[in-house]
Amino acid sequence: MNPAVYDYPNAPKPPRKISTARWVILALVLISISFKLGYDSGKKGFVLEPKEFKVINQNQAPKDVDYQLLWDALRVVQDKYIEKSPTPDKILYGAVKGAVESFGDPYTTFFEPKTLESFKSDLAGQFDGIGAEIGKKEGNIVIVAPLDDMPAQKAGVLAGDIVVQVDGQSSAGWSVEDAVGKIRGQRGTKVTLTLYREGKPAPFDVEIIRDKIEIKSVKWEFKEIDGGKTIAVIRLTKFGDDTEALFEKAVNEILTKNVSGIVLDVRNNPGGYLQTSVELASFWVESGKLVVKEARSQGGDTDYNALGRNRLKDIKTVVLINGGSASAAEILSGALQDYGIAKLIGEKSFGKGSVQELVNLCGGFLNGCSDEEALGAVKVTVAKWITPNGKNLNKDGLHPDIEVKLTEEDIKAQKDPQMEKAIEEITK
């Protein structure tokens, strides 16, 4: 079994394939070793000694890098800072984090042991928090998707809201993991988010009581409409551990009924497993046809093709998307749109079509180590996704075939014009 590849920042479990970004890890390990070797006794407890290293870049060409600037800066602050110096570990983690984030990708980040433990707790699918997927876009911490029936949604948080502050602390400069660490907390406790929402004149506060977050990824129901027709509505909240089994169960039940169509609802679905999105697309897409292309910076692109069980191909389908539809949700929706199998109704998707690999850092060993042995980890973007017709999901997202807005007034009035439009399209 290979290490983990995630298609969004807080994926629910290790997926099924990886590749290694060895040049990034090598650079980070060298920096880590330099710090460990450089600590010595001094008037404030340690002295950082400058070292010289040779770093191998992405093209495997040697390049001499002088780290004297780093050591000089640290020594100046160490000698002159008015308060107590931070611990060596804290300095080390800060330096590695800064090096990783210099690549400018919001999904590539370094986990120190504490944040790594928190990140991996997400993989079990159970934790205490507000029930919202957090991402980063254009430098801002944003709500990718508030999850159904979770505290954030109940408090009125919407996909696309920008998190300006958490409990009065500015989110400027935070990573996604920083934001998650501030927002998450013990059930029953309160957190106040200061949000900016497009169309609002100013940021506003939302108080949320944290709770235990447990998510079932597939729900389905049957709607009776005029003329005695029946429509199946499948709601996908993520692409996780339980998705394939639950979706298969839903399909089996749908096929026992004479349904006029299917509404596939992936609104506010932040994603999950790549392979699961391919499995689900295969219920509609003809066997062997491309579902998504995984394009990598160093070549070796991978095509993911339908698996040959298109049991729903003869049932009219529409897909509901919005700004909270991301990652694996965009893969599935994009394939159905590109092949003309389903129209997309709603609002433009989030546009998160990239793959992250989680690699444990093991003190110089680049072939991996156990979670218990890891000194930290790097989550690094290694690929992007392209739809069958060539759409770059990470750049463009998906545009609906029929745009229908869902306003705050609609939500307050418990109206769903997007669902209404989907049913209308099915019954044409």
Would you call 428 helix, strand, or coil by DSSP? coil
Catalytic residue, chosen from 352, 379, 391, 421, is 352
Token pair for 13: 């479990």
Q: Which two tokens stand for residue 288?
A: 């062997």
For 50-59, write each residue's pLDDT tens digit. 344 444 344 4
Residue 367 in this model has a pLDDT that exceeds 70? no
Residue with tokens 């180590």: 369
352 is catalytic: yes
Residue 287 token pair: 């066997």
- The kind and range of the H/E element at 151 are helix 151-154
Amino acid code (one letter) for 294:
E
CB within 8 Å of 110: residues ≥ 6 apart: 28, 93, 96, 97, 99, 100, 101, 376, 377, 378, 379
Domains of the chain by residue range: 15-105, 128-214, 218-426
275-to-21, 239, 247 alpha-carbon distances in Å: 21, 9, 14
| pLDDT value at 9 more than 90 | no
What's the token pair of residue 65? 């890098």
- pLDDT, residue 121, reads 54
Q: What tens digit of pLDDT does each residue of 68-108 get? A: 777 788 888 888 888 877 877 788 888 888 888 888 887 78
218-426 is a CATH 3.90.226.10 domain: yes
Of 34, 182, 338, 421, the active-site residue reads: 338
Architecture of the domain made up of 128-214: Roll (2.30)
Query: Per the residue annotation, which of 327, 333, 349, 354 is the catalytic one?
Result: 327
Could you tell me how many residues make up the chain?
428
Q: How far is CA 236 from CA 62, 143, 192, 276, 418, in A?
A: 48, 18, 28, 12, 16
- Which residue in 107, 215, 233 sits closest to 153, CA to CA? 215
Across all residues in the chain, what is the average pLDDT?
81
Indicate whether 22 pLDDT > 60.
no
Catalytic residue at 338? yes
User: What was the pLDDT predicted at 72?
Assistant: 82
